[in-house]
A and B are shown apart, each in its own frame.
Chain A
Amino acid sequence: MLKDITLGQYFPGNSLLHRLDPRIKLLATVLLIVIIFLAKNMAGYGVMILLTVFLVALSRIPVKTILKSIKPLIFVVLLTVAMNIFFTGGENVVLDQKIWIIHLRLTAEGILNGVKMALRILLLIVDTGVILTYTTSPIDLTDGIERLLSPLGKIGVPVHSFAMMMSLALRFVPTLIEETDKIIAAQKSRGADFSSGNVISRVKALIPVLIPLLISSFRRADELALAMECRCYHGGKGRTKMKELKLQAKDVAFLLVLALFLAVAFLPGIPCSVFGINTMNFVF
């Protein structure tokens, strides 16, 4: 039952986004988050939606898969929208009514704010998904993080150890899930009951699963450390990589395009004139 869980949602493929340097993708993600939060008006959002559609098309990931990733967050989005609608004050009252003891007062500003927030969250999920989690394998990701943070190594931050720990953790996720399954089966065969009773008794029932799992993880860690030592691992010093990361023209071009979008979103005057949607700024 636990086997279906996949950590990260890497979607193997060979699109341009798949082939970009992971460092660039990490930078691009940060840049996109900044752009999304800086977008001031509807024109800015329009531009971002266009960019997102473009990125999705570029990644060649089925739209269905992307919609699926949004699904678990729908509740958060709706809650944010509701909060914004009801708690934003404003001049242009749309609805002002007292229903029983609740005083409902909707304003145009509130609704607009709600829509903006919803767009913001959805764009964030889709963009980071398409650029990072769907198109970058975990190993590339840790590699990228290690290289990006390597300057910190000069001031004594153990960047290599950190990246190594992350990739080992990723490596052992499926192994530990398999083990959890086995322990659950073993406990069930001894009469353990995981599916009845209230929340507290169910949580209690998990203790006989978690403790063996913890103990065996320590044993694994011990054996793994031994095996790594026997394979000549001695930290990041003097280590090389089979696959070197090299920046290519397409990586630089991709980052430049995103920087252009940042400029557009950052200068509030430009979008209106550039995209000829002057009225948008006025109406909202």
Chain B
Amino acid sequence: MAGYISIRNLSFSYKDDQKEQQALKNINLEIEKGSFVAVLGHNGSGKSTLAKLLSAILVPDEGEIVVGGLKVSDPELSEEDLLELHRRVGMVFQNPDNQLVATVVEEDVAFGPENLGIEPKEIRRRVDEALALMGISEYARHAPSKLSGGQKQRVAIAGLMAMLPECMIFDEATAMLDPSGRKEVMATVLKLNKELGITVLHITHNMEEAAMADRVVVIDDGQVLLDGTPEQVFSKVQTLQAVGLDVMQCTELLHELACCGLPFPEGVIDEEQCARLIYEYYMKTVKDKK
């Protein structure tokens, strides 16, 4: 069975007058409905291009993208289908300031439903619901410019939730936030996925965030390099480091210890588990010596 998002033989290149730069090469991906997939890659790996192709902002050179039954890669996608796609698939961008359109938070959240031509009463209901869901009801009448980065991103997410989407794509949505804003947004992302069953595609270069996903896809040089559960992907420390991705400290520590011949597993993504493994090993060696 095909997944909610299905990408087949996708290739795309940016064309300039003189040169052509290949951004994605022959990508094949199936993303199940309701899953939480992290797309990892360093700058220029093509991961943001993938997001733009998924929301029909760019049209692929080759291959096919189908999202929820809509053939997104079709260059002659009708306007109704395009609107339906954007309603179903919400995009959250990197800069929180550049995606808010209104001077009042609740007006901004209402922007999407207003564009869809929904009844005023229903818009009001959806806006209140989305604000409550994001925990920002108390800021409903505030100006977005007075909010913190994390709060702004939550306003942006609320604006998309008011359109009742099925899938959300976060395109480096946490890259410009401070650590507390990042935590705020990641908690929201998990809530959307686990409680509301929304399919989440989280594009990032942050390992801790990728480790929260059900599945991690590593893209390098426009190709899928690794694909699997966080444990599977992060056990390939050398492969990741070769493409300029740093693994988490706990993963790296156990990897280095394992390389020295000590019996530690690869792909540990939990600091506490890491600490426990080391502690158990230490206790065992102490006991053996006695």
Contact = CB atoms under 8 A, between A and B. Distances in A.
Interface of A: 137-139, 167-168, 170-171, 174-175, 178, 220, 223-224, 226-234, 238-244
B130 to A, nearest CB: 12
Nearest to A233: B115
Interface string B149-164: 0000000100110010
B97 interface: yes
Contact of B110 (A233, A238, A242): A242
Interface in B66-102: 79, 83, 86-87, 90-91, 93, 95, 97-102
A19 to B, nearest CB: 15
A190 to B, nearest CB: 23
Contact of B115 (A178, A220, A232): A232
B55 interface: yes
B192 interface: no
**Dominant secondary structure at the B interface:** helix
Contact of A139 (B90, B102, B145, B159): B102
A239 B123 contact: no
Nearest to B112: A231
B57 A243 contact: no
Contacts of B97: 175, 220
18 contacts: A137-B103, A138-B103, A139-B103, A167-B101, A171-B103, A174-B145, A223-B98, A227-B98, A228-B101, A230-B55, A232-B83, A238-B117, A240-B114, A241-B114, A241-B120, A242-B120, A243-B107, A244-B120
Contacts of B110: 242
A231 B107 CA distance: 13
A231 B104 contact: no
Interface of B: 55, 57, 79, 83, 86-87, 90-91, 93, 95, 97-104, 106-107, 110-120, 123-124, 127, 143-145, 156, 159-160, 163
Contacts, number: 94
| In the A-B complex, the 9 residue pairs with the closest CB atoms | A227-B99, A174-B145, A242-B110, A223-B98, A232-B115, A230-B91, A242-B123, A238-B117, A231-B112
Q: Helix, strand, loop or mixed for chain A's interface?
A: helix
Contacts of B79: 234
A232 B120 contact: no
Given A226-B93, A240-B117, A242-B110, A231 B163 contact: yes
